[in-house]
Structure 1
Amino acid sequence: MKTKNSPFKIEISRYIDNKSKILSNTLSLLPKDLSEEIKELKKATIQGVITTNWDCLMENLFPKYRVYVGQDELIDSAPKSFEEIFKIHGCHKQPNSLVATETDYHIFRRKNPYLVAKLLTMFMEHPIIFLGYSLNDPNISEILRSMISCLTNENINPFMERLIFVQWKKDSSVYEMKNINIIVDDFNIPVLNIRTHEFLSLYQALASLKRKFPLNFIRFMEEQKYRLEKKGDKKDIIEIS
């Protein structure tokens, strides 16, 4: 290990690994409401997952998704904007990838515009659901700030209309849905804010969505499109959605 924080990150990784093993062995013992939520989430039709968590829960729920760990791996790759998991703060299976220290966060913020630019297609074509994050989370503010900096004036409004925040609220017996505004720098960003005591209804709605084409076919066509683009043969490109 090369970095001075490696022993610290190794210990974090070991801790998460041990906790993950305990959780995987006790899933059958979870309360019924939680087990039902996990069951429905596994069936959800979603284009991609962007997470700041270090554990492998998302990979376990969506084993067929492609996984990108950290900013560098994503920036150096060619994401297809569907059925992919982006672990932007690293993964416990790669200790040095963890964004855990002040220096790590400084490097992350410096590279963040490149990361967002890489994901911009997915951001512009699909609703973005921020699940479990606070409206005041500095990581979310940083991502939104970078998104806005990459957009033209014509694209900002359509992008803002796709933002949905879903927050867990213990004492809420029904869905609370409000259109609110959050301020990032000089931008007043309208978002749909949902507060709920359970995520089951949301996961069921996502699970009810159907794809137009089988995943294998979409992947094949996207890969062919990428190869054609690399060769510069634009006239033969076929768009698949």
Structure 2
Amino acid sequence: MVDHAAKLIGCNEENLLRMRGSDLQILEYFKIMNRELAPLTNWLSLQFAEATDADILASPIHSELVELDRCSLYYTTNYDDFIERALKRSGRNAHIVSGEHTIAHDRSVVEVVKFHGDFNNPQQMVVSESQYMERMRLESPMDFKLRGDILGRAVLFIGYSFRDPNVNYIFHIVNRLFSDLPNSPSGRRAYIVLPEPSEFERRLFNERNIEVIPVGAEEISKNVAEVLHEMRI
């Protein structure tokens, strides 16, 4: 997405842009130059449009996620609709939450929370640096929902790491909330799946009350799917 933003801006030296600024700053520059993000988000939406339901369920991770019948709450920072499509194709009643006005009051449905918005609600999408900075105030309805949803539950992170500055604040929220809550029988309330984690990563996550679940770096999707499979059996 960042590479395409650079091309739309008209910059032929994408590496130079990356040397001068972060990904979020490049997207912020795109928004300034175009006064909106629509040309970029519309392009991104088209990249996902050709995926069929069968394609999505062919993903080992998605096929296992929908089988977690005791899980009724999925959070994602992605903008695509793959999780909800997989759930609906599997016969589960999925409800999309992308803002306060879409929060479900029917506890029989499965909530898919689009924490950074989605293509159907572009005004709620968090893409550029200023939008992330605004979210990091931790005062939006979605942040309050996250805090409430964490209570009484265990949290599993898939696909994140400390290299993702855009979601680091979520780890901060989890740590701050769980530090004042009774521990689960295992001693942890939050877990993260990491491929071949280093001692550096283990220590940092453990200090934030997040237990690391290690998997092999080869065939990561298959290995993560096996973790999900073991969870439900």
* TM-score band w.r.t. shorter chain: 0.5 to 0.7
Q: RCO (CA 8 Å, sep 6+): is it higher in 1 or 2? A: 1
Q: TM-score, normalised by structure 1?
A: 0.62
The answer for the alignment partner of 2:94 in structure 1 is 65
Deviation at 1:108, TM superposition (A): 0.8
Trace 1:34-49 onto structure 2 (pairs within 5 A). Answer: 35-45=59-69, 46-49=71-74
**Change over 3 Å in CA distance of 1:104–1:78 after alignment to 2:** farther
Instruction: Measure, in 2, the Cα distance between the counterparts of 1:134 and 1:151.
Output: 19
Aligned to 1:123: 150
Structure 2 unmatched runs, 5+: 1-30
1:1-241 equivalences in 2 (<5 Å)? 8-24=36-52, 27=55, 35-45=59-69, 46-63=71-88, 64-70=93-99, 72-73=100-101, 80=107, 83-112=110-139, 115-150=142-177, 153=180, 155=181, 157-158=183-184, 161-168=188-195, 180-182=202-204, 188-196=208-216, 197=220, 198=222, 199-208=224-233
- CA displacement at 1:110 relative to structure 2: 1.4
- Higher strand proportion: 1
In structure 2, distance between residues paired with 1:114 and 1:152: 22
Q: Structure 1 residues 108 and 48, CA, compared in 2 at 3 Å: closer, same or farther?
A: same
d(CA) in 2 for partners of 1:25, 1:127: 29
Shift of 1:56: 0.7
Aligned length, in residue pairs: 190
CA contact (8 A) 1:177 1:192 kept: no
State the Cα deviation string for residues 180-209 of structure 1 (Å, max 9, x = none). Answer: 33269xx6535223223322312323454x
- The one-letter amino acid paired with 2:171 is L
Give the share of equivalent positions with the same residue, in percent: 18
Go from structure 1 to structure 2 and tell me whether the alpha carbon gap of 1:36 and 1:141 turns closer, same or farther (over 3 Å shift): closer
- State how far apart, in whole Å, the 2-side matches of 1:22 and 1:92 are: 15
CA change 1:205–1:59 in 2 (3 A) is: same
Measured after TM superposition, the shift of residue 61 of structure 1 is: 1.3
**Equivalent position SS for 2:191:** strand
Going from structure 1 to structure 2, the CA distance change for 1:115 and 1:167 (only over 3 Å counts) comes to same
Letter in 1 for 2:77: T
Per the alignment, in what secondary structure is the counterpart of residue 180 of structure 1? helix
CA-CA distance at 1:150 after TM superposition: 4.6
Q: In the aligned structure 1, how far is the partner of 2:187 from the partner of 2:37? A: 36
| In 1: Cα distance, 2:215 partner to 2:174 partner | 24
Contact 2:189/2:209 (<8 A) preserved: no
Cα distance change, pair 21–152 in 1 and its aligned pair in 2 (3 A): closer
Distance 1:81 1:49 in 2: 14
Q: Which runs of 5+ in 1 are unaligned?
A: 170-175, 209-241
SS in 2 for 1:137: coil
Check conservation: 1:41, 1:207, Cα contact below 8 A.
no
Paired with 1:130 and 1:81, the residues of 2 have a C-alpha distance of 23
> Partner of 2:172: helix, strand, or coil?
helix
